[in-house]
Amino acid sequence: MTEMNLSRCPIGVFDSGLGGLTAFRELRRLLPNEDIIYFGDTGRVPYGTKSRETILNYAKQDVDFLLGQKVKMVIAACGTVSANVPEDFADSLPVPFTGVVQHTCAAAVKTTKTGHIGIIATPATIRSKAYETYIHRISPETRVTALHCSLFVPLVENGFIQSDNPVTRLVAEQYLAPFFGTDVDTLILGCTHYPLISEAVLSVLGREVPLVDSGGSCVGSVLDALAERDALAQPGRIRTEAYFCSARRADFTRVAQRFLGRSIDALTKEIDVEGY
């Protein structure tokens, strides 16, 4: 692809479901001229309770689908994929690739004053220890308390995202209890689904802990990677968006609308990702 063509190609974003829309929204805010293709693997969500091998297989198919759409960059807007792909995963791809872990850790280390960071994420992410590894690479003395919150993803996928939803609050109270009374002063939302219920998380914590959102944190690096290749879209052009999911299209578009504040119904198609 020539540089001229690259600037006109879309950015590809994927997640196991709706969570990656948190990165999408930030991407849209920072890069208003870009075409973006979003894929949510709603047929196989959750990834966070699966084995590493299965997560890698899913991630490869998701990436292949996006490459087939001629994207100029791939963003794994999924903490679980980002934490479980090998560090050299990007080397095997023909376009730049970024996950969300490194940038999130850097942002959290900058934020903490007590030197005690909390992480909440899926079981597969917590098991990988990827967040701890990156935090300790930057700041070996930082203390980390990492907890999995398995039920948060199904809550989000089923639209239980209002902060006053009693089910969401009860679940959050159970998972977040180990943080009560600690000096954790920065909380990494290590799963891109979690910002959709961040109000419930904050209200259960009962104090103003800065939340570091894994989807939003990677967006600056996308800008840098594209600028380096002279692949940013030209200002003032008419941009496009396309959304794909692998099942439950109506549920996907309904919850997405609540989160994005606009309907994506006419822009969303259902695909069979197993064919990639």
Nearer to ligand DGL among residue 6 and residue 55 (C-beta): 55
71 lies in the binding site for ligand DGL (CB under 6 A): no
CB 192, min distance to ligand DGL, A: 4
* Cα dihedral 254, 258, 260, 263 sign: positive
Say which of 9, 78, 149, 245 is annotated catalytic: 78
48 lies in the binding site for ligand DGL (CB under 6 A): yes
Is 149 a known active-site residue? no
CB 53, min distance to ligand DGL, A: 15
Which residue's beta carbon is nearest to the bound ligand DGL? 48
148 lies in the binding site for ligand DGL (CB under 6 A): no
Q: Which stretch binds ligand DGL (CB under 6 A): 11-19, 59-67, 103-111, 169-177?
A: 11-19
Please select the residue that binds ligand DGL; options are 72, 103, 169, 193, rule is CB under 6 A: 193
84 lies in the binding site for ligand DGL (CB under 6 A): no
- C-beta contacts of 94-98 below 8 A and 24+ residues apart: 94/67, 95/67, 95/71, 96/72, 96/225, 96/226, 96/229, 97/63, 97/73, 98/73, 98/74, 98/218, 98/221, 98/222, 98/225
CB 149 within 8 A of CB 120: yes
Structure tokens at 87: 């560090």
Please list the active-site residues: 78, 191
